């Protein structure tokens, strides 16, 4: 936990540049989430520059929410450039399992890039692990039972930090495993909260290359922001104002909020 607070405090000095190759639905939200937390977002998705941009970034977030064949190729280019420089790669396997193309693309990515952190919902992580999964579209259809065990096992297998998001999140690097109980159900009523969580993880991982702490910190930040956003809602307010308050909360998050609010069990 102390290491999460330290990581948080270092963002301000580092102002990590978080490169994204991501989907077109939520990229604006992701950019604003990175800025709110104190990072600097960049999104360059041409094969002509993705690798060059990745090589000068603090971290690289790969998100397959809207995927084309060419995109997979440039993810590989950018991911390899990041790997060569020791820049952490965060992989958000959006909708894996829903179509053969996504599942195949995820396999190709994992086979060719060393991902530091993989963060998805239960159906996505089950699909990555080769287990039957019942996701629909980009939503999870599986219960969180056994999330910690699955995260730990897959982390060992893929040599990466695995984060499974849900009502209670599980994060494991194969040796250490934690449960995070922060968050609010209204987060599910907005598109892109999963994508934004990965972008926040990108900010932490780009501040210092500590994948396990970065994954937990990113999930915690989103969870606490969701809780705070909900607390500031007035009667009659709904998804519109919740989204506004979420960004308010992210941009005013203080280390004290983390210390007071974190519900993490080792």
The answer to whether 191 contacts its own copies (rule: CB under 8 A) is: yes
Count of CB atoms within 10 A of residue 93's CB?
A: 27
| Cβ-contact 64, 23 below 8 angstroms | yes
The answer to whether 192 contacts its own copies (rule: CB under 8 A) is: yes
Q: Residue 86 class from Cβ within 10 Å (0-12 exposed, 13-18 middle, 19+ buried)?
A: exposed
With CB under 8 A as the contact rule, the residue among 4, 11, 27, 125 that binds its own copies is 27
In the complex with its own copies, the residue whose CB is nearer, 163 or 196, is 196
- Tell me the closest approach of the beta carbon of residue 152 to its own copies, in angstroms: 30
In the complex with its own copies, the residue whose CB is nearer, 29 or 169, is 29
With CB under 8 A as the contact rule, the residue among 243, 257, 262, 264 that binds its own copies is 243
- Tell me the closest approach of the beta carbon of residue 44 to its own copies, in angstroms: 7
Sheet holding 89-92, edge to edge: 40-43, 17-21, 59-63, 89-92, 117-121, 161-165, 169-172, 177-180, 264-265
Q: Establish whether 43 is an annotated binding residue.
A: yes
Q: Single out the residue of 143, 152, 154 nearest to residue 121, CA to CA.
A: 143
- Tell me the closest approach of the beta carbon of residue 29 to its own copies, in angstroms: 7
The answer to whether 1 contacts its own copies (rule: CB under 8 A) is: no
Radius of gyration of the chain (CA): 17
The answer to whether 241 contacts its own copies (rule: CB under 8 A) is: yes
Instruction: Give the three-class secondary structure for 116.
Output: coil
| Cβ-contact 38, 203 below 8 angstroms | yes
CA gap 236, 55 in Å, rounded: 47
Residues 135-154 that bind its own copies (CB under 8 A): 136-139
CA 133 to chain centre: 20
Residues 160-179 that bind its own copies (CB under 8 A): none
Which spans of this chain sit near its own copies (rule: CB under 8 A)?
17, 19, 23-29, 31-32, 35-36, 40-46, 48-49, 52-53, 56-57, 65-69, 95, 98-102, 136-139, 189-192, 232, 236-241, 243-252
Binding site for ATP, residues? Answer: 119, 165
- As annotated, the binding site includes 43, 119, 165, 192
């Amino acid at each position: 936990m102390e290491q999460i607070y330290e990581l948080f405090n270092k963002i301000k000095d580092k102002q990590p540049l978080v490169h994204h190759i991501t989907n077109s639905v939520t990229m604006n939200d992701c950019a604003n989430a990175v800025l709110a937390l104190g990072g600097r977002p960049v999104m360059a998705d041409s094969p002509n520059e993705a690798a060059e941009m990745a090589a000068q970034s603090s971290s690289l977030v790969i998100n397959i929410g809207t995927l084309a064949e060419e995109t997979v190729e440039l993810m590989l280019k950018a991911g390899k450039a990041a790997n060569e420089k020791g820049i952490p790669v965060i992989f958000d396997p959006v909708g894996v399992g829903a179509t053969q193309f996504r599942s195949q693309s995820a396999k190709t990515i994992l086979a060719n890039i060393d991902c530091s952190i993989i963060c998805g919902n239960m159906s996505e992580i089950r699909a990555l692990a080769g287990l039957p999964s019942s996701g629909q579209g980009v939503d999870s259809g599986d219960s969180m039972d056994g999330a910690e065990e699955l995260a730990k096992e897959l982390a060992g297998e893929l040599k990466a930090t695995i984060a499974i998001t849900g009502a209670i999140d599980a994060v494991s690097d194969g040796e250490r495993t934690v449960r995070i109980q922060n968050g609010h159900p209204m987060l599910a009523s907005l598109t892109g909260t999963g994508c934004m969580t990965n972008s926040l993880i990108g900010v932490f991982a780009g501040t210092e290359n500590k994948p396990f702490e970065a994954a937990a910190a990113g999930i915690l930040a989103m969870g606490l922001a969701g809780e705070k956003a909900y607390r500031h809602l007035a009667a009659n307010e709904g998804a519109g104002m919740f989204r506004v308050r979420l960004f308010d909360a992210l941009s005013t998050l203080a280390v004290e909020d983390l210390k007071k609010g974190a519900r993490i069990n080792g």
